Amino acid sequence: MTVIRTTQVSPTTEKGFSVLGRAKQLNAGVHKAYIDGQWVEPGGGEVWQHRHPASGEPDFTIARSSASDVDRAVRAARRAFDEGPWRQMRARERKLILRPIGDLVRAAEKELAELQSLDNGLPIAIGSGFRFSGSFAADLFEYHIGWIDKLDGSVPPVFSSHADAQMLTLREPVGVVAAVTPFNAPVMQFAQKVAPALAAGCTVVFKPSEYASNVAALFVRLIEQLDLPPGVINLVPGDASTSAALFNHPLIDKIAFTGRREVGEIILRAAAPGIKRVQLELGGKSPSIVFDDVEDISATARYAMSLVSMGLSGQLCSTQTRALVHRSVYSEFIAAATEQLADVRIGDSFDAAVTSAPLVNAAAADRVERLIQGALQEGARHVAGGDRVTELPGGNWITPTILADVSPSMTIARTEVFGPVLSVIPFDDEEDAIRIANDSEYGLSAGVYTRNPTRAIRVARALRTGTVGINSLFVYPPPAPFGGYKTSGLGREGGRQGFEDYLETKTISIPLG
């Protein structure tokens, strides 16, 4: 492979760096579970070794909660829901109890950002930005708390004399929620799962990714300062075996999960015996559709490339990893996208100059490398990147990659890479672009880049995807529902619909004659 190297190692980390001191300074590591209002030692005593993805150093350990620990947590949540006051509490009471969490989270914003960077290697400058920040998590909590006393039932009119009865509908919490989140955005993901569940009156057993457990533990310590009844919130750190025990527990009413499609399929099978409610936010293969009438093709190309080269380096389900570009601006787009790579800086995630994250583990880096090689074997044209970073040999680094002349049928165009790889695909006209964009098992997100507002709306409506950004990535404020079509998931997070997904509807009939 001919490599065009434009990615730069941050000067402060060229000679290597150590995260052990920071891990100790931040008191990193989650050594206890939080069950029934108490921090407790997991019964098995086993631990999981975390390695920082930027350097490969073993920096802290995570307790591995066993099936018996999960059972204790679920039963505590079950008691708190069935016998405790939480679900029966008046709206004002629940709202007043939860109201301080926004201020508590904002006060801990710096520590949350540092723990996030330690957990998954997200650059501190990116993690302090709004979407990944404590401020955004606080907004999520406050938004959902605001629904507590506003989402009511209905009193539909009597429809017919043949059914002479007055109907009332009530909204009630779904029950015990198993919430399981991925590594890539732990600050946002905790709030996105826990805020609507608690606001609705549910109880929660939370299991974070083993690659992002410190953030979850800090959130639970903040929630401890509220006057929640024991068992309403529970934390079970661990690995995949911990998640499996939670998915399969018979006393769970709902599973809320964000992660890989393969795990989503496992969850659906686990949910079948008890008909558990399921909310899944899974993978994506999102397109950016670049028309020839964009205002500035160079700026558009640089922006499209930055979505995979900066921040989480493509490790975000909604990232626009397929660039569908009109043939008339195809070459210009590729040239400008290549120039963007000069802006990338890698290295110590606590260095403010670093722009991009490593891949979360060595297996992820190996997988991305295999997908790149496979694309070249299938006929894709290599433009830039795709090599390991020898200057930081312990980390999971692959330089941002551009592959051109990608066919929609190639594996790289159909598989979620979850790495810094942009596949550039030419198209001829609007109909061709929509066909290529929709030719995917996924349907999570998309971007439409054009100066023509009529075309933008027309194409957005034609796309089989849950979210569409016009001339941008989809903006994700708390009131906006987020989720996917097809294999990208079930249900929505955010907005009124996201809150309602934690509620059941009960209908009461009162005879009138």
The pLDDT of residue 391 is 86
The pLDDT of residue 259 is 96
Predicted confidence (pLDDT) at residue 3 exceeds the cutoff of 50: no
Residues 226-253 have pLDDT tens digits of 999 999 999 999 999 999 999 999 999 9
- Looking at every residue in the chain, the average pLDDT score rounds to 94
CB 257 within 8 A of CB 280: yes
- Percent of the chain at pLDDT > 90 equals 89
How far apart CA 67 and CA 83 sit, in angstroms, is: 24
Residue type, 83: E
Cα–Cα nearest to 175, from 78, 279, 69, 34: 78
Residues 270-289 have pLDDT tens digits of 999 999 999 999 999 999 99
DSSP state letters, 335-402: HHHHHHGGG-EES-TT-TT--BPPPSSHHHHHHHHHHHHHHHHHTPEEEE---B-TTSTTS--B--EE
Q: What is the DSSP letter of 317?
A: T
Q: How many CA atoms lie within 13 A of 372 on its CB side?
A: 27
> pTM for this one?
0.94
Residue positions annotated with a catalytic role: 281, 317
Predicted confidence (pLDDT) at residue 24 exceeds the cutoff of 80: yes
Residues 382-428 have pLDDT tens digits of 999 999 998 888 899 999 999 999 999 999 999 999 999 999 999 99
Predicted confidence (pLDDT) at residue 52 exceeds the cutoff of 50: yes
Lowest mean pLDDT among 16-30, 367-381, 476-490: 16-30
Phi, psi of 444 (to 5 degrees): -95, -50
Structure-token pair, residue 381: 């044209």
Q: What angle do CA 360, 264, 113 make, to 5 degrees?
A: 35
Predicted confidence (pLDDT) at residue 47 exceeds the cutoff of 80: yes
Q: Domains in the chain, please, with CATH?
A: 18-282+488-507 (3.40.605.10), 286-478 (3.40.309.10)
- CA distances (Å), origin 302, targets 298, 310, 383, 422, 472: 6, 11, 15, 12, 12
Q: How many CA atoms lie within 13 A of 490 on its CB side?
A: 14
Residues 173-219 have pLDDT tens digits of 999 999 999 999 999 999 999 999 999 999 999 999 999 999 999 99
How far apart CA 129 and CA 258 sit, in angstroms, is: 21
Can you point out the beta strands (E) in 36-175? 38-40, 47-51, 58-63, 165-173
Predicted confidence (pLDDT) at residue 2 exceeds the cutoff of 50: no
Tell me how far the alpha carbon of residue 50 is from its chain's centroid: 20
Residues 305-332 have pLDDT tens digits of 999 999 999 999 999 999 999 999 999 9
The pLDDT of residue 163 is 84
Residues 105-118 have pLDDT tens digits of 999 999 999 999 99
CB 293 within 8 A of CB 452: yes
Residues 116-167 have pLDDT tens digits of 999 999 999 999 887 899 999 999 999 999 999 998 889 999 988 888 899 9
Helix or strand run (H / E) with residue 183: none
Predicted confidence (pLDDT) at residue 5 exceeds the cutoff of 70: no
Contacts 24+ apart (CB under 8 A), 244-251: 244/270, 245/66, 245/67, 245/70, 245/71, 246/70, 246/74, 246/178, 246/180, 246/205, 246/207, 247/178, 247/180, 247/271, 249/70, 249/71, 249/74, 249/178, 250/274, 251/74, 251/75, 251/78, 251/176
Residues 423-481 have pLDDT tens digits of 999 999 999 999 999 999 999 999 999 999 999 999 999 999 999 999 988 777 789 99
